Structure 1
Amino acid sequence: MTDDLARRARRILLANWRRGFTVPAQGLYPHQWSWDSAFIALGLRHLSPVRAQRELESLFGAQWADGRVPQIVFNPAVPADAYFPGPDFWGPGVRQPSTGLVTSGLVQPPVHALAAWEVHRADPVTSARRGFLRRLYPRLRLWHEYLLGRRDLGGDGLVCVIHPWESGLDNSPSWDEPLSRITPVAPATFVRRDLGHAGAGERPTDLDYGRYVRLAADYRDAGFADALASSAFAVEDPLTNALLSAGETALAAMAEEIGADPAPHRRRAGALTDSLVAELYDPGEGLFFARDAHTKTLLRRRTVGGLAPLVVPDLPVVEELLKTARGEHFRLGEVSPVPSYDLTAADFEGARYWRGPGWFNTGWLIWHGLRGHRHEDLAGGLRDGMLAAIRVAGFREYVDPITGAGHGSDDFSWTASVALDLLAVPAADGRAA
């Protein structure tokens, strides 16, 4: 069964490869997505370390001059109207002069440094021969500097996302309150391509989508300027900041490997962790919450983003966070993957995008964090549970954590990649083989 699962996962990644990068899935997602490529690289390293390196190199080939790594790199071989919002929506300002590539103007969570370091470790000899770290390290550093500088909109040392799509957890209930202030565009003004590939009950509502389009258009029309005054939606997100802290630790390791100074990265990782705990952690709840940068109030919805800081190596509140993860709201060790939203919430929806389903990429982050904090039994149980969920539902985009039913796109690349990475670890054991 394990060999069959690995074979199916490899077949999906090969089918979704597009001359230098991997699409998340055929149909709904015909382009390159930023954090998808990072998770995909984690699995590709078991199939071909060189291909995993190329996945990240391709993405960073579309990096903007200001350092941002775009949410989407559009495939010129795909019709412009195959996905909305597509290249025509973003306008001429997103065409990169050095490559001619067209991208979106938004970003996604910074999991790239963590992925790059794991890819290097998979085959250090080939990585060194190709100069992988030497070429990617300065681009990763510039990406982090963009976030730490331009996106500290609240002035608290934390990064803001200025659109729900930037959080990766696009339709999370955490965003309902700040989104309620946004006037949506009329549904008749755009065509939702996503509903041609998944049922309406699995996707964001028209009201939410209208607000997403409004925010994206306003950011485009403001010339992609990063300022609190011009960002109607500005949220300090625990997942984004946790990944940035973990990424700075990964950059420190890269710096040592190539003979650069790791000290600045260690300082930034420590400062980010301190701010994350001081500003976004609620000790009474044992959970991290997003915070509205405009009102300075915590957005008190229990989501998987509040558990994501487990990925931070030196997190001081691990045991408290694990107590919450194992409790009634997430039931770590009982249901798998980890639900994206509080299982006890009245508005929990097991089939709707980020409002309840379990996702394999966020499950991987928690698994990786459990291993790093030496909770091998919990990590092994989560690993086995995620693989069992894939065996039942297939390589789906997300699954109902209660029923196990698969939802969203099929043959999803990061699900296949996570499966390959988990299969590289022995059963019921969180430690590497």
Structure 2
Amino acid sequence: MTSLLETPAPAAADGLTLRRGAARVLLANWTGTSTVPSRGLYPHQWSWDSAFIAIGLRHLSVRRAQRELESLVGAQWADGRLPHIVFNPAVPLDAYFPSPDFWRSSSAGATTGAPAGTETSGIVQPPVHALSAWLVHSADPEASRRRGFLPRLYGRLAAWHDYLAGPRDLGSGGLAAVVHPWEAGMDNSPCWDGPLQRVEPSVPSSYRRADLDHGQPAERPTDLDYGRYVRLAGDYRDRFYADSGEKHAFAVEDPCFNALLIVSEHALAQIATATGADPARHERRAAQLTDALVARLWSPAEGMFLCRDLVGDELIPERSIAGLVPLIVPGLPRDLVDALLGTAAGTGFRLGEVPMAPSYDFTGNAFDGSRYWRGPAWFNTNWLLERGLREHGQTREADRLRTSMLTAAGACDFAEYVDPLTSQALGTRDFAWTAALTLDLLAAAQSSEVTGRTTGPTNGVRT
């Protein structure tokens, strides 16, 4: 039987239809200053969503892509953190939980630098932002220079990275730590099952889940897991969002989070050069983070990176796609790259055989092909894998994955995530980063057709 990966690239007419569909989603989700991930399930601005969305928006409107990132960094805290949600005050409180009255950022976060005039969450998400900013700039450097786009973002992005490399180095090993599963972006990953066992869940009667108003319970986190998420967030708030010197019930070094920090440091070095600043400190930090990533999170036995539980100071024996994302890191030792490629193509992830890589090992005990981050395939993580394959010269495999992602995006109405075997749509539809990354893949495919060549390694930040 022919694999979806072996189907030809979308014909020009189909590509045009796909582009129009993706553009429709982004236009419908635009609020005037930023883009919501979806109108129903996620009615505010999310941090790493906006970074991915801007990458796609640059192919429609560079000005709007710039605005996407500018609106996010406008809510930055004085300590450098970029909050994972920036709340729209026009949205009713009961439309999403945890809502602004739960986080209480302007009061509970006052001592740690939360803005007084904008309500946000108090936690963060993976640092894709400098990479996104560089790609947006590269789409139209002249327009970027006219608006002073990079000079206005550079200091804020540098402060964001300083926060992650400073107060968030909770393990003192040179990597940034997350203090809540939501911070890793892969909220419901089986990687968190072990560490979450230590957390007493909040009483269900103390909150109401708004996500079940828009999603199927079988596709969302369980009530038990959600209760633990609420407890962790509430405890962090009650400690005034302090990091250093605190005893965190959940503290994990995540390979995807840190790989994105490394690639964004490389991007920040390019931004520094473009703005007349010294790129050396960013290049130095990227190298140090890469060494720490290998030293602390590489598992030779598994042939991939694993998460480290800082409370027990041990690797977590769960294989998620987070452990493959470091393929995007330039300069990884060749033996590690070869091992990662072998693991990606093996029975756990079956990259090259199934349409897209699952979020969790097919053979893992906790695999669930339809439940949030416990098996379904996501477009953002596969977009990262596609870049990683190209970074290390695997252009044929990257082309196959790109074609498969474009086929799936059109068939699933730009779903939030899909079944990794069938590409059946799961989660909410008209999801913004699915549409945005579809536009980016289409643009790359068109560029390859025009030039007759595929992109290769360019220090992790090819345009």
Runs of 4+ with deviation above 4 angstroms? 94-99, 427-430
Amino acid at match of 1:321: L
Q: Secondary structure at the match of 1:47?
A: coil
Amino acid at match of 1:423: L
- Which residue number in structure 2 is paired with residue 55 of structure 1? 68
Counterpart of 2:24 (choices 4, 7, 11) is: 11
Any gaps of 5 or more consecutive residues in structure 1? Answer: none
- Which residue number in structure 1 is paired with residue 51 of structure 2? 38
Instruction: Tell whether the 8 Å contact from 2:77 to 2:114 is kept in structure 1 after alignment.
Output: no
Matches within 5 A, 1:398-417: 398-417=417-436
Instruction: Tell whether the 8 Å contact from 1:62 to 1:99 is kept in structure 2 after alignment.
Output: no
Matches within 5 A, 1:345-384: 345-384=364-403
Give the CA deviation at 1:80.
Answer: 1.6
Matches within 5 A, 1:302-313: 302-313=319-330
Q: Secondary structure at the match of 1:38?
A: helix
- Which residue number in structure 1 is paired with residue 108 of structure 2? 93
For residues 97 and 360 of structure 1, the distance between their equivalents in structure 2, rounded to whole angstroms, comes to 32
Amino acid at match of 1:19: G
Counterpart of 1:392 (choices 402, 411, 422) is: 411
- Which residue number in structure 2 is paired with residue 269 of structure 1? 286
Q: Secondary structure at the match of 1:106?
A: coil
For residues 308 and 114 of structure 2, the distance between their equivalents in structure 1, rounded to whole angstroms, comes to 36
Q: Secondary structure at the match of 1:209?
A: helix
Matches within 5 A, 1:198-217: 198-217=215-234
Instruction: Tell whether the 8 Å contact from 2:86 to 2:118 is kept in structure 1 after alignment.
Output: yes
Amino acid at match of 2:18: L
Matches within 5 A, 1:241-390: 241-316=258-333, 317-390=336-409
For residues 205 and 393 of structure 1, the distance between their equivalents in structure 2, rounded to whole angstroms, comes to 24
Alignment TM-score, normalising by the size of structure 1: 0.97
Instruction: Identify which range, 103-112 or 366-375, moves more after superposition.
Output: 366-375
For residues 270 and 336 of structure 1, the distance between their equivalents in structure 2, rounded to whole angstroms, comes to 33
- Which residue number in structure 1 is paired with residue 197 of structure 2? 180
- Which residue number in structure 1 is paired with residue 121 of structure 2? 104
Give the CA deviation at 1:344.
Answer: 1.3
Matches within 5 A, 1:97-246: 100-227=117-244, 229-246=246-263
For residues 359 and 119 of structure 1, the distance between their equivalents in structure 2, rounded to whole angstroms, comes to 22
Instruction: Identify which range, 310-319 or 72-81, moves more after superposition.
Output: 310-319
- Relative to structure 1, the CA distance from residue 99 to residue 372 in structure 2 (aligned partners, 3 Å threshold; closer, same or farther) is farther
Structural RMSD (CA): 1.5
Q: Secondary structure at the match of 1:155?
A: coil
Alignment TM-score, normalising by the size of structure 2: 0.91
For residues 250 and 454 of structure 2, the distance between their equivalents in structure 1, rounded to whole angstroms, comes to 38
Matched, 1:83 2:123: no
Any gaps of 5 or more consecutive residues in structure 2? Answer: 1-13, 456-461
For residues 234 and 300 of structure 1, the distance between their equivalents in structure 2, rounded to whole angstroms, comes to 16
Instruction: Tell whether the 8 Å contact from 2:108 to 2:241 is kept in structure 1 after alignment.
Output: no
Amino acid at match of 1:175: W
Instruction: Tell whether the 8 Å contact from 1:9 to 1:417 is kept in structure 2 after alignment.
Output: yes
Instruction: Tell whether the 8 Å contact from 2:269 to 2:280 is kept in structure 1 after alignment.
Output: yes
Amino acid at match of 1:420: L
Q: Secondary structure at the match of 1:370?
A: helix
Give the CA deviation at 1:403.
Answer: 2.0
Instruction: Identify which range, 2-11 or 315-324, moves more after superposition.
Output: 315-324
Amino acid at match of 2:392: H
For residues 299 and 394 of structure 1, the distance between their equivalents in structure 2, rounded to whole angstroms, comes to 35
Instruction: Tell whether the 8 Å contact from 2:108 to 2:238 is kept in structure 1 after alignment.
Output: no
- Which residue number in structure 2 is paired with residue 73 of structure 1? 86
For residues 239 and 56 of structure 1, the distance between their equivalents in structure 2, rounded to whole angstroms, comes to 21
Amino acid at match of 2:328: V
String of CA shifts for 1:335-360, please: whole Å, max 9, x gaps: 23221000112321111000000000
Looking at both structures, which has the greater relative contact order when contacts are Cα pairs under 8 Å and sequence separation is at least 6? 2
String of CA shifts for 1:281-319, please: whole Å, max 9, x gaps: 012221000000111110011100000111111122212
Give the CA deviation at 1:115.
Answer: 0.7
String of CA shifts for 1:117-140, please: whole Å, max 9, x gaps: 111111100001110100001100
Q: Secondary structure at the match of 1:424?
A: helix
String of CA shifts for 1:217-252, please: whole Å, max 9, x gaps: 000000101036421000011111111111111011
For residues 336 and 112 of structure 1, the distance between their equivalents in structure 2, rounded to whole angstroms, comes to 28
Give the CA deviation at 1:17.
Answer: 0.3
Amino acid at match of 2:124: V
Give the CA deviation at 1:68.
Answer: 0.1
For residues 337 and 397 of structure 1, the distance between their equivalents in structure 2, rounded to whole angstroms, comes to 14
Instruction: Tell whether the 8 Å contact from 1:94 to 1:104 is kept in structure 2 after alignment.
Output: no
Give the CA deviation at 1:97.
Answer: 7.2
For residues 222 and 302 of structure 2, the distance between their equivalents in structure 1, rounded to whole angstroms, comes to 30
For residues 358 and 137 of structure 2, the distance between their equivalents in structure 1, rounded to whole angstroms, comes to 30
Q: Secondary structure at the match of 1:334?
A: coil
Instruction: Tell whether the 8 Å contact from 1:292 to 1:299 is kept in structure 2 after alignment.
Output: yes
For residues 402 and 337 of structure 1, the distance between their equivalents in structure 2, rounded to whole angstroms, comes to 8
For residues 381 and 369 of structure 2, the distance between their equivalents in structure 1, rounded to whole angstroms, comes to 16
String of CA shifts for 1:245-295, please: whole Å, max 9, x gaps: 111110111111111101100000000000000110012221000000111
